[in-house]
């Protein structure tokens, strides 16, 4: 746990900062450069509201848009699907008997677009490069594997890793330094390791790989699409891979269009975009009713997964009673109803009702301003402190919610000042002494919340500067071999109950976000997870 917590303090802020930065572009236009001879029956436009950091799998970070945009070309080993099950992508199985050795078997049919078989040596090569100090990808957290330093890197020029060992052409074993649950391996590593074609990439030296021109137009891929053009701030355009090993790709051209959230309604109405997805495309709740009324659109609400979290710097607000008062003073029911039109839920802690480990009998702390005042009186709180409350300026819904929260606090004697900053700035100040409360939307994986919780409650240096022995013990239990779902539920209940009591984090609401798809698109149902798993089966009904 100490090793995990130490690294998470470094990794997560970096991963989150990268989701809102860009690394350059191949064109200055803000429109996809599609073939002008194509009809709309051959093109699908997907609207997203965040930029793409990079399309190089070696620079992979935790951003949803970046992950999906890259995964269209380079499949991961496994991916979650809409039912929160791990679905084979390049690997047809990943197993472990001891939560130390993870055996990955590559699908026998998996081939690169040039016909070359995809092998375990492609996986080994990519993992080795992800651990290169010259590429310096700190977001991938490979320090957990034998043979990799605690900084996540191997020596420059290393040709192998003792903890990542091919057995034969289609089998490779990953060995961890300490026990890890299979779901953690699948969620944190199998979903983000996107193997590259060794027979193509090995022409580049280590120091060339982060900036190699090949990644701007890769000509050998494992996924359903090939990159044709992109501008990381505006769009990514793809053409179908004619040799996709999972089957024929029906849509010749696919574009990801990066847009302002306020523009999504009009773009859906006019057909400028065809599809939005729950986590990549943040539709403002005030537009939900108008989009539901569109004749050309089918609306899909996702499971409540994305948590609007407020992280309290316990170093600056050390009295538990004051933090409890901050929670009791917030009228979360009113915020959920008034701002989100009840498209979501309220929970205390990290788990939503979508998680298989959520205690379905749990209740949340309700608005009680009198209780808040009593707690402040017990704590001797005189109201002289002004809480510095940092909020993402790009989230208009929560900016409104923050004003309600500050008014709620003011009513019980807590003074707070809202500072709205862009996402990159928000991440740069997260965890610093200048921030008392930090608010950000955070998607905790329902099937593996362990990694995020371990970081966020990792003691000094985390966003909360909060640590708790009972939580550490419960989290360690979740990684034990042979633990069943009931035991996992009990362990995570300990975590969420302790968080509700000590209040290092307040969950304001958990969003059931809207997605939309044009009725002319068949076999496409937007989902929080697994959105592109069957993208090659999407079709266009020209009669719509």
pLDDT digits 0-9 by tens, 386-424: 999 999 987 888 999 999 999 999 999 999 999 999 877
- Helix extents (H) in 72-208: 120-130, 182-185, 198-201
Q: How confident is the model at residue 542 (pLDDT cuts 50, 70, 90)?
A: confident
Q: Give start-end residues of each CATH 3.90.76.10 domain in the chain.
A: 74-208
Render pLDDT for 524-539 as a digit per residue (tens, 0 to 9): 999 999 999 999 999 9
Query: Contact, 145 vs 100, CB < 8 A?
Result: no
pLDDT at residue 27 in the model: 41
| pLDDT at position 31 over 80 | no
pLDDT at residue 13 in the model: 36
Q: Higher pLDDT residue, 65 or 314? A: 314
Render pLDDT for 363-377 as a digit per residue (tens, 0 to 9): 899 999 999 999 999
| Strand, coil or helix: 163 | coil
For the chain, percent of residues with pLDDT exceeding 90: 80
What value does the mean pLDDT take over residues 207-223?
94
Q: Which of 334, 366, 298, 356 minimizes the C-alpha distance to 486?
A: 356
Look over the chain and give the mean of its residue pLDDT values, rounded to a whole number: 90
- CATH code of domain 306-511: 3.10.105.10
What value does the mean pLDDT take over residues 464-483?
94
Q: Which of 52, 32, 54, 53 minimizes the C-alpha distance to 43?
A: 32
Structure tokens at 317: 């607000």
Query: Contact, 291 vs 516, CB < 8 A?
Result: yes
| pLDDT at position 33 over 80 | no
Alpha-carbon distances of 540 from 33, 47, 111, 442, rounded to whole Å: 20, 17, 27, 33
Q: Give start-end residues of each CATH 3.10.105.10 domain in the chain.
A: 306-511
Render pLDDT for 128-186 as a digit per residue (tens, 0 to 9): 999 999 999 877 889 999 999 999 999 999 999 999 999 999 999 999 999 999 999 99
What value does the mean pLDDT take over residues 188-207?
95
What pTM did the predictor assign? 0.86
Render pLDDT for 44-58 as a digit per residue (tens, 0 to 9): 999 998 888 889 999
What value does the mean pLDDT take over residues 24-33?
50
Q: How confident is the model at residue 4 (pLDDT cuts 50, 70, 90)?
A: very low
pLDDT at residue 39 in the model: 56
What value does the mean pLDDT take over residues 317-340?
97
Q: What CATH class is the domain 74-208?
A: alpha beta
Which residues, other chains included, contact 233 with Cβ-Cβ below 8 Å and sequence gap of 6+?
A: 22, 25, 30, 51, 258
Q: Which of 371, 273, 494, 249 minimizes the C-alpha distance to 283?
A: 273
Residue showing tokens 């979650």: 80
| pLDDT at position 253 over 80 | yes
């Amino acid at each position: 746990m100490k090793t995990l917590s130490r690294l998470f303090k470094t990794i997560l802020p970096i991963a989150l900062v990268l989701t809102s930065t860009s690394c350059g572009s191949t064109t200055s236009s803000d429109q996809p450069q599609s073939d002008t001879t194509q009809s709309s029956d051959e093109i699908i436009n997907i609207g997203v509201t965040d930029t793409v950091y990079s399309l190089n799998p070696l620079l992979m970070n935790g951003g949803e848009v970046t992950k999906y945009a890259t995964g269209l070309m380079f499949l991961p080993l496994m991916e979650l699907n809409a039912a929160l099950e791990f679905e084979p992508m390049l690997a047809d199985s990943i197993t472990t008997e001891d939560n130390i050795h993870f055996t990955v078997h590559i699908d026998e049919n998996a081939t690169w677009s040039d016909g070359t078989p995809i092998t375990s040596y492609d996986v080994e090569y990519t993992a080795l490069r992800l651990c290169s100090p010259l590429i310096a990808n700190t977001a991938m957290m490979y320090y957990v594997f034998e043979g990799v330093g605690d900084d996540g890197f191997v020596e420059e020029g290393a040709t192998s890793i003792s903890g990542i060992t091919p057995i034969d052409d289609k089998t490779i074993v990953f060995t961890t330094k300490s026990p890890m649950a299979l779901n953690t391996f699948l969620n944190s590593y199998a979903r983000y390791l996107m193997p590259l074609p060794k027979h193509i990439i090995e022409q580049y030296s280590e120091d060339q790989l982060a900036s190699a021109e090949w990644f701007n137009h890769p000509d050998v891929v494992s996924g359903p699409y090939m990159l044709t053009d992109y501008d990381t701030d505006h769009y990514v355009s793809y053409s179908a891979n004619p040799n996709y090993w999972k089957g024929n790709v029906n849509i010749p051209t696919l574009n990801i269009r990066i847009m302002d959230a306020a523009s999504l309604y009009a773009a859906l109405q006019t057909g400028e975009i065809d599809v939005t997805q729950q986590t990549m495309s943040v539709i403002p709740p005030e537009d939900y009713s108008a989009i539901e009324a569109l004749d050309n659109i089918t609306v899909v609400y996702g499971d409540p997964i994305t948590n609007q979290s407020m992280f309290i710097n316990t170093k600056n607000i050390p009295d538990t009673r004051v933090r409890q008062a901050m929670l009791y003073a917030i009228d979360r029911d009113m915020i959920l109803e008034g701002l989100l039109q009840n498209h979501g839920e309220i929970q205390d802690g990290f788990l939503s009702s979508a998680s298989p480990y959520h205690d379905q009998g749990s209740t949340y702390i309700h608005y009680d301003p009198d209780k808040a005042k009593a707690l402040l009186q017990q704590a001797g709180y005189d109201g002289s402190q002004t809480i510095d409350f940092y909020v993402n300026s790009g989230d208009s819904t929560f900016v409104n919610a923050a004003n309600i929260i500050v008014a709620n606090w003011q009513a019980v004697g807590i003074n707070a000042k809202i500072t709205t900053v862009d996402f990159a700035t928000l991440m740069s100040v997260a965890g610093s002494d200048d921030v008392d409360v930090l608010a950000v939307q955070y998607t905790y994986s329902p099937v593996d919340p362990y990694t995020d919780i371990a970081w966020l409650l990792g003691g000094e240096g985390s966003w909360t500067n909060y640590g708790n022995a009972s939580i550490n013990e419960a989290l360690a239990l979740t990684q034990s071999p042979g633990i069943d779902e009931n035991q996992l539920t009990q362990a995570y209940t300990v975590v969420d109950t302790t968080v509700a009591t000590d209040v290092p984090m307040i969950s304001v609401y958990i969003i059931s976000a809207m997605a939309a798809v044009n009725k002319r698109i068949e076999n496409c149902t937007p989902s929080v997870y697994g959105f592109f798993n069957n993208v090659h089966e999407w079709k266009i009904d020209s009669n719509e």
